[in-house]
Amino acid sequence: MTVSSTTTKNSYNGDGTTVAFSYTFRILDEDDIAVILRNNATGNETTQSISTNYSVSGVGDVGGGTITFVTAPPTGNTVVLLRATPLTQITDYTPNDPFPAESHEDALDKLTFITQELSE
């Protein structure tokens, strides 16, 4: 698959009612996204915890997916969804095995994601 978008972040205003927020970029694992609540009055940012504060859907989907909060972010807060790809290389090739095109493509996508995030 190709990486045809440079989007690495989405932001939304909390309203005390909405619990589902879309992210519009591909992630390879549910841990590859940082979910942050920014208090607009103070500027303080609180990183949310998966399972405790939110769940993730759409992992691996090219168009992204949805972050669903357990409790709706309050008015006066900004929801920041930021791709946060680990800076690791986990793809390993075995000599004389058939070429693993899918895992190779995922590894190239991961490198592109990291490069985009460094630009952000």
Q: State the Cα–Cα distance between residues 42 and 112, nearest whole angstrom.
A: 34
Q: Is the pLDDT of residue 46 over 80?
A: yes
For the chain, what is the mean pLDDT?
90
* pLDDT above 80 (res 53): yes
Q: According to the model, what pLDDT value does residue 110 have?
A: 81
Give the pLDDT band of residue 2 (cuts 50, 70, 90).
confident
Distance CA 54, CA 48 (A): 8
Burial annotation 61-99 (CB, 10 A radius, 16+ → b, else e): eeebbbbebeeebeeebebbbbbbbeeeeeeeeeeeeee
Q: Does the pLDDT value for residue 84 go beyond 90? A: yes
Burial of 114 (0-12, 13-18, 19+ CB in 10 A): middle
| Percent of the chain's residues with pLDDT above 90 | 62
